[in-house]
Amino acid sequence: MAIAGKAEERRKINIALQGGGSHGAFSWGVLDRILEDGRLDIVAVSGTSAGAMNAVALADGLERGGVEGARQKLSDFWRAVARKGRFSPVQRTPWDVLWGNWSVENTPGFVWFEAMSRIFSPYVANPLDLNPLRDVVEQQIDFGNVHNCKALRLFISATNVETGQLRIFADGEISLEPVMASACLPQLFRAVEIDGVPYWDGGYGGNPALFPFFHTTGTEDVLLVQINPVVREGTPTSAYEIQNRIDEITFNAGLLREFRAIAFVKELIAAGRLPHGEYRDIRMHRIDADEAFKDLSASSKINAEWAFLEYLRDLGRSAASDWLDENFDAIGKHATLDLSSQLDHGLKPAPGPALGKRVREFLATRKTPPTVASRRK
Task: Encode pLDDT of 111-157 as tens digits.
Answer: 767 777 778 888 888 888 889 999 999 999 999 999 999 999 999 99
Element (H, E) at 241: helix 239-270
d(CA 182, CA 43): 21
Dmax over Cα atoms in the chain, in whole Å?
A: 62
d(CA 233, CA 243): 15
Residue of 194 and 242 predicted with greater confidence: 194
Tell which residue, 75, 60, 66, has the closest CA to residue 154: 60
104 phi and psi angles, rounded to 5 deg: -120, 10
Tell which residue, 205, 222, 195, has the closest CA to residue 12: 222
What pLDDT is attached to residue 1? Answer: 44
Q: Are 18 and 43 in contact (CB under 8 A)?
A: no
For the chain, give the mean pLDDT.
Answer: 86
Is beta strand 221-226 parallel, antiparallel or unpaired with respect to 283-288? parallel
What pLDDT is attached to residue 110? Answer: 73
What pLDDT is attached to residue 278? Answer: 82
d(CA 212, CA 256): 16
Q: Are 140 and 82 in contact (CB under 8 A)?
A: no
Q: Are 20 and 301 in contact (CB under 8 A)?
A: yes
Is beta strand 221-226 parallel, antiparallel or unpaired with respect to 11-17? parallel
Strands (E), the chain: 11-17, 40-47, 153-160, 166-170, 192-194, 197-201, 221-226, 283-288
Q: Which residues pair with 362 in a beta bridge?
A: none
Residue of 95 and 226 predicted with greater confidence: 226
**CB within 8 A of 126, min separation 6: which ones?**
188, 189, 190
Q: Is the pLDDT reported for residue 346 higher than 60?
A: no
- Give the DSSP per-residue string, 17-86: E---GGGHHHHHHHHHHHHHH--EEEEEEEE-THHHHHHHHHHHHHHHHHHHHHHHHHHHHHHHHHHHHT
Is the previous residue joined to 208 through a cis bond, with omega within 30 degrees of 0? yes
Q: Is the pLDDT reported for residue 92 higher than 90?
A: no
Per-residue pLDDT of 205-223, as tens digits, reads: 888 999 999 988 889 999 9
Is beta strand 40-47 parallel, antiparallel or unpaired with respect to 11-17? parallel
pTM: 0.89
What pLDDT is attached to residue 61? Answer: 98
What pLDDT is attached to residue 223? Answer: 98
d(CA 133, CA 130): 9
Residue of 2 and 296 predicted with greater confidence: 296
Q: Is the pLDDT reported for residue 15 higher than 90?
A: yes
Q: Is the pLDDT reported for residue 303 higher than 90?
A: no
Q: Is the pLDDT reported for residue 298 higher than 80?
A: no
Residue of 193 and 304 predicted with greater confidence: 193
| Burial status of residue 262 (CB atoms within 10 A of its CB: 0-12, 13-18, 19 or more) | buried
d(CA 214, CA 183): 24
Average pLDDT over residues 262-275: 88
Average pLDDT over residues 297-306: 83
pLDDT confidence tier of residue 344, bands split at 50, 70 and 90: low
**167: three-class secondary structure by DSSP:** strand
Residue of 346 and 360 predicted with greater confidence: 360
As a whole number of Å, the end-to-end CA separation of the chain is: 53
What pLDDT is attached to residue 3? Answer: 54
Q: Is the pLDDT reported for residue 371 higher than 50?
A: no
d(CA 97, CA 232): 26
d(CA 162, CA 59): 30
**193: three-class secondary structure by DSSP:** strand
What pLDDT is attached to residue 335? Answer: 94
pLDDT confidence tier of residue 291, bands split at 50, 70 and 90: confident
